[in-house]
Structure 1
Amino acid sequence: MRVLHTSDWHLGQSFYGKSRFEEHQAFLKWLLEQVREQAIDAVIIAGDIFDTGTPPSYARALYNQFVVQMQQLSCPVFILGGNHDSVAMLAESQSLLSCLNTYVVPCGCEPQDATFIIHDKSGAPGLVLAAVPYLRPRDIMRSEAGQSGLDKQQQLGLAIADYYQHHYDYALAKAQQLGALAPLPVVMTGHLTTVGASSSESVREIYIGSLDAFNAKAFPPASYVALGHIHRGQLVAGSEHIRYSGSPIPLSFDELGRGKQVLIAHFDGQSLERVVSVAVPLFQKLAVIKGQLAEVEVELNKLVAMDESVWVSVVLSSDELISDLQQRLQAQVTDSKVQVLQIKRQRSVRQLTALDTQETLSELSIDEVFQRRLANEPYSDNEQARLTTLFTQVAVAAMETPLA
């Protein structure tokens, strides 16, 4: 059995005003070729298939086209809701897509609604999938009056662990029932942050309520755990069988330098045999140029001479105030395929786009806006900690509420 694990597509993402349509279209074409050539038995997309809860129409079209093309390959697809995805939007086509060999789990639910049997090429049961999506606090716990932030954090961690164990027990019972000589492998999924995972700028800093990270030791002993949410592919706690696939395209400039991948988990009978990383091609060239202005201009000239489409982030190491910086850099790449999308000062937290010399709210995360405002108030450390906890809870609730 071969299961392809991917996540964090973020269809519909706007990258400093640039559409990722062509990159995603190229990736999906490449992915379909891998499914065909590698004789994949199932594809798991572990959350954040869309970038927002209200994706543009072209993103939905890519999604629907992929489902149809996968159905033609007779390869089932399992889609888990992520924190960027709208539960309502994923759920609206859930029944229809199941008729096309695509199974969607938009939110936390009972195990009988999220446990699937994946068959091998001969039609025999090959493994059992316990599909766990992004778990919103309201799906798995109830707040109690008088609880502190720490109490809620601990309660949420226990609730997530209990959810995983409950779903694993149900899947294991199925695996034992279907296995002729020994239980079939059990594969689990997740969309969350685990202790020690290395994230990037494009990963939203609010994960599961106010829980910073989930301890990987709390995962049940599944044969393989396919995770999403962290955009850098990596092992979890040094475990070969617990992995983030990472996003298939760079979602921020700081994700450059690490190759993108999909993972193929190979199962031999009742156990995981190996996990193979398949490198995803880079469909849009990105570059980060660092240095003094003169050094930046030299590197920009080299990119222009290459006559290739390149999106550039400039990190200026000088604190010298250059009033016409944007104009100078834009003039340098005019009539070329090079586009400067971002300019940053290395020593400063402020971040400038190539379109504006002033910092704007759109350039800051909600956490940065709140922390800067909080820093100007005469609160004690305890008061600041309490306000931060309350803000986090309100922000998570706001992001999880679908737009009307």
Structure 2
Amino acid sequence: MRLLHTSDWHLGQHFMGKSRQAEHQALIDWLLDQVEAQSVDAVLIAGDLFDTGTPPSYARELYNQLVVRLHAAGVALLLLGGNHDSPATLNESRELFARLGATVVAAAGDDPAAQVVVLPRRGGGAGCVVCAVPFVRPRDVLRSQAGQSADDKQLSLQQAIERHYAAVHAAAQAEIAALPGRLPIVATGHLTTVGASASEAVREIYVGALEAFPTAAFPPADYIALGHIHRPQKVGGLEHVRYSGSPLPLGFDEAKQQKEVLLVDLDADGLQAVTPLPVPRFQGLVAIAGNLDSLSGAIGAAAAEGTRERPAWLEITVADDDYLADLPARIEALTDGWPVEVLRIRRQRGDAVARLAATAGETLAELEPDEVFARRLEHEALDDALRAELTGRYRAVVAGLRGDDA
């Protein structure tokens, strides 16, 4: 059984006034080519198919096209709802798409068996059983209680989600018992796990929702296909727990990432291999920084990612010369004649001043320790790995202190 794991397509994204329609169309064309070339049996999209709950008509057309073309190729599709997706929007075509070999699980429900999906192999017969858990909203699994602290609510939600996974896993085992032979189990999720590295394009899941779900709380599964974090990665170094990441860069901070989808090979003995499949860049997206003297060369290098028909999109952060009032005009002169389009100009010191001004009226007494730590990190130029490590160490120290106080 070969599964293609992807997530976070964000169809319909309006990116700084630009449509991503052409990129998503190119992505679908490329994906269908890979499905054939790599002999994929089923495609799994782990949430956030759409960017908003009310996607534009062209985004729905792309979705419909994907379903129809995968059906024509004899490839099953499993689609999970994400925090950006509207369950009502996904469910409106669920029964129709079921006739085309596509299974939609838009939201967590009361019946665990409804979230158990048997994915077939192309040649016929069951290939794997999926605990198809979408983005879990607190109201799906939890009833709030008066008087709970924020920490109590976090713990209650974590425990409720863990119970939900356990119930779906038990239903999956019952399904396997009724089928001939041993089938591998795949679990899904659209959430943040402990140790995952995010990006600025990942918006908060839900006010008051779970910050990070412990990896150990997932049910035993041969492979765990995750969505929500846009950076492709293993979780906690575990081979079988993976974020595929988004196939397109959804923010300038993702511009240097190599995007990918994952080919997951499973058989009766479990997980055999996970193979990253690099996704081509369909639209030049480049973030550059420097003073006016150095920017000219950087703009020329960025132009290599664009064409006259499809210029590269730029974010330019200006240092040293960022005080100049005519900065936009100077940037325009530097880019004149190059196949680039500037979508955002940032003034390095101006951004820092704005952040300081926004907090000037606050005192330490008004802030929680977590807020002080987070704001201190904002003033450091750290890579994502080091930032995540420091945050993890901080939380471990705080947890230890709270344990001592208890």
Q: Which band: TM-score by shorter chain?
A: 0.7 to 0.9
Aligned to 1:150: 151
Structure 2 Cα separation of the partners of residues 321 and 383 of structure 1 = 34
Aligned to 1:39: 39
The 5 Å alignment of 1:373-392 reads 376=361, 380-381=365-366
Aligned to 1:20: 20
Structure 1 Cα separation of the partners of residues 113 and 159 of structure 2 = 21
The alignment partner of 1:157 has SS state of helix
Structure 1 Cα separation of the partners of residues 226 and 304 of structure 2 = 41
Structure 2 Cα separation of the partners of residues 313 and 331 of structure 1 = 15
Distance 1:135 1:305, change over 3 A: closer
Distance 1:302 1:157, change over 3 A: closer
Q: Deviations over 1:23-77 (max 9, x none)?
A: 1100110001111121111110000001111111111111111111111011110
Aligned to 1:269: 268
Structure 1 Cα separation of the partners of residues 113 and 304 of structure 2 = 58
Structure 2 Cα separation of the partners of residues 14 and 261 of structure 1 = 22
Aligned to 1:397: none
Is the contact between residue 133 and residue 188 of structure 2 (CA under 8 Å) also seen in structure 1?
yes
Is the contact between residue 176 and residue 184 of structure 1 (CA under 8 Å) also seen in structure 2?
no
The 5 Å alignment of 1:269-348 reads 269-304=268-303, 308=307, 309-318=311-320, 320-334=322-336, 336-348=338-350
Q: What is the CA-CA distance between 1:237 and the residue it aligns to? A: 1.1
Aligned to 1:364: none
Is the contact between residue 265 and residue 275 of structure 1 (CA under 8 Å) also seen in structure 2?
yes
Identical aligned residues as a percent? 48
Q: Deviations over 1:146-204 (max 9, x none)?
A: 11111111100111111111111111221233142xx3111111000001100111001
Structure 2 Cα separation of the partners of residues 262 and 248 of structure 1 = 7
Structure 2 Cα separation of the partners of residues 307 and 225 of structure 1 = 37
Aligned to 2:216: 217
Is the contact between residue 194 and residue 213 of structure 1 (CA under 8 Å) also seen in structure 2?
yes
Letter in 2 for 1:175: I
Is the contact between residue 184 and residue 267 of structure 2 (CA under 8 Å) also seen in structure 1?
no
Structure 1 Cα separation of the partners of residues 234 and 98 of structure 2 = 31
Distance 1:130 1:63, change over 3 A: same
Q: What is the CA-CA distance between 1:287 and the residue it aligns to? A: 1.6
Is the contact between residue 193 and residue 207 of structure 1 (CA under 8 Å) also seen in structure 2?
no
Structure 2 Cα separation of the partners of residues 127 and 91 of structure 1 = 24
Relative to the length of structure 2, the TM-score reads: 0.84
Q: Deviations over 1:317-344 (max 9, x none)?
A: 2264111111221233345421011122
Structure 1 Cα separation of the partners of residues 180 and 347 of structure 2 = 59
Q: What is the CA-CA distance between 1:381 and the residue it aligns to? A: 4.0
Relative to the length of structure 1, the TM-score reads: 0.85
The alignment partner of 1:153 has SS state of helix
Q: What is the CA-CA distance between 1:88 and the residue it aligns to? A: 1.1
Aligned to 1:231: 230
Q: What is the CA-CA distance between 1:379 and the residue it aligns to? A: 8.8
Q: Deviations over 1:195-220 (max 9, x none)?
A: 11001110013457332111111111
Distance 1:279 1:302, change over 3 A: closer
Is the contact between residue 304 and residue 333 of structure 1 (CA under 8 Å) also seen in structure 2?
no
Is the contact between residue 48 and residue 228 of structure 2 (CA under 8 Å) also seen in structure 1?
yes
Structure 2 Cα separation of the partners of residues 177 and 337 of structure 1 = 60
Structure 1 Cα separation of the partners of residues 305 and 82 of structure 2 = 39
Is the contact between residue 5 and residue 264 of structure 1 (CA under 8 Å) also seen in structure 2?
yes
Distance 1:154 1:312, change over 3 A: same
Aligned to 1:135: 136
Q: Gaps spanning 5+ residues in structure 2: where?
A: 372-406
Aligned to 1:81: 81
Distance 1:383 1:344, change over 3 A: closer
Deviates more, 1:255-264 or 1:208-217: 208-217
Aligned to 1:29: 29
The alignment partner of 1:281 has SS state of coil
Q: What is the CA-CA distance between 1:142 and the residue it aligns to? A: 0.4
Distance 1:103 1:259, change over 3 A: same
Q: What is the CA-CA distance between 1:11 and the residue it aligns to? A: 0.6
The 5 Å alignment of 1:149-188 reads 149-180=150-181, 183-188=182-187
Q: Does residue 1:204 correspond to 2:203, yes or no? A: yes
